[in-house]
Amino acid sequence: MKVDEGALAVCWCASAVVDALGETAVTSARVAARATRDRQFARIEWLEGMATEHSTTAYEAARRHAGLIDRSDLGRIVLSGKDRASYLNGLLTNDIATLKPGQGCYAAYLTPQGRMIADLRVYELGDVILVTLSRDVKDTVLAKLDQFIFSEDVQLGDVTEAYAQIAVVGPRAGPILASALVLAQPDALSSLTEHGNLRSEFSGQPAIVLRVSDTGEPGYDVLIDQSAARELVSVLHRAGAEDVDAGAAEVLRVEAGVPKFHRDMDENTIPLEAGLEPGAISLTKGCYVGQEVIIRVLHRGHGRVARRLVGLTLDGDAVPAREAVVHQGDREIGRITSAVRSVALNRPIALAYVHRDFTEPGTHVTVEGAGAVVTALPFVPRTT
């Protein structure tokens, strides 16, 4: 078993897997030590004022034309070896074993108690599997994946620093991105389904394109060598795409009702509480870590958990702080996890965990004295 820092090239060609993964290995102890060190510097801290300070122009570009979102908050792990899919299939909640080259899925990685370690996007590229996840849990996940490889033919590589990841979102994202890339077919991007992926080329550099929707406004992630990232952004700008600042990106995410790890989910969350079961949990695959808890809740408990993540539409102009308390009458029933001022709705909206008896859309509650209504997600339907 190897965790290989030389595996940076495996995203691009199968031969690189053989060449690079045969040499340099680091032990799980080194991975864990690096995890502790890197988290001190790399963890993204969310600023409470960010959700209200954003460019409306950038927001409108993403909704009506094309916007660019920096995805440096994501970590990237690659897995090679003939057992890579079956290995992940035994750990993650979704069906990895049936993925064909060019396909992907959303999944969660759980503890035996059914609590979340991370949520992940998994992409079968044909010669390797690429996993994207929140950057501040990447090293934890990498160390755990390392720990559970025994006799399987699986090698791990961390490609987070090697490649830039840029999202191009909005109704014109496909044509604008296609104008910058060398594609095998003219309609290659438009034919990608959610979590689909393909290899391409930009300015002589290999690139990977992923179909994504966790940005709030659907579009594409492009992975490119760091040395070519600035040139790619310049080309996309000239084609009409505009930068989307962090505040505007947060508005897009919350309007779409997309939960974010270490914001709306954490290590104490059961994925059913966050509403991940439709997209991230397979009910037909074989065993995975934490499955017993999930099946018990779904089948014996009829899917009822103590709390649920819901949308709240608020009265007034004030955007509540994270952890603001949600009440019904004198009873505390939950807390806010994310809140923004919606550009589309022209009012504050929030994601919040509330007690299971108060999750029905239309339920009236209060947040810091302001009236609010439980609202079905997404707040704003997709435009693409």
- Whether the predicted pLDDT of 41 surpasses 70: no
Q: Is residue 82 part of a domain?
A: yes
For residues 152 and 27, the model is more confident at: 152
Rounded to an integer, the average pLDDT of 51-63 is 80
Burial 211-228 (b: 16+ CB within 10 A, else e): bbbbbbbbbbbbbbbeeb
pLDDT tens across 149-170, in order?
A: 999 999 999 999 999 999 999 9
Q: Is residue 336 part of a domain?
A: no
Q: Token pair of 29, please?
A: 């102890």
Rounded to an integer, the average pLDDT of 26-44 is 35
Q: What is the pLDDT of residue 32?
A: 40
- Whether the predicted pLDDT of 7 surpasses 90: no
Q: Is residue 311 part of a domain?
A: no
User: Using an 8 Å Cβ cutoff, are 212 and 254 in contact?
Assistant: no
Question: Read out DSSP for 72-106?
Answer: TTEEEEEEESTTHHHHHHTTBSS--TTPPTT-EEE
Q: What is the pLDDT of residue 186?
A: 87
- Whether the predicted pLDDT of 287 surpasses 70: yes
Using CA of residue 134, residue 142, residue 308, residue 196, what is the dihedral sign? positive
Bridging pattern class, strands 163-169 and 67-70: antiparallel
Q: Is residue 287 part of a domain?
A: no
CATH number of the domain at 171, please: 3.30.1360.120
Residue 10 banded pLDDT, cuts 50, 70, 90: very low
For residues 358 and 19, the model is more confident at: 358
Rounded to an integer, the average pLDDT of 128-134 is 98
Q: Is residue 216 part of a domain?
A: yes
Q: Is residue 255 part of a domain?
A: no
Using CA of residue 281, residue 285, residue 290, residue 291, what is the dihedral sign? positive
Q: What is the pLDDT of residue 9?
A: 42
Domain boundaries, position 115: 2-42+66-240
Rounded to an integer, the average pLDDT of 46-73 is 78
- Whether the predicted pLDDT of 384 surpasses 60: no
- Whether the predicted pLDDT of 376 surpasses 80: yes
Percent residues over pLDDT 70 in the chain: 85
- Whether the predicted pLDDT of 120 surpasses 60: yes
Q: Is residue 309 part of a domain?
A: no
pLDDT tens across 74-111, in order?
A: 999 999 999 999 999 999 999 999 999 999 999 999 99
Percent residues over pLDDT 90 in the chain: 82
Q: Is residue 307 part of a domain?
A: no
Average pLDDT, the chain: 88
Q: How far apart are alpha carbons 53 and 246 in whole angstroms?
A: 9
- Report if pTM > 0.75: yes
Give me the amino acid identity at 292.
E
**Based on the structure, what is the number of domains in the chain?**
1
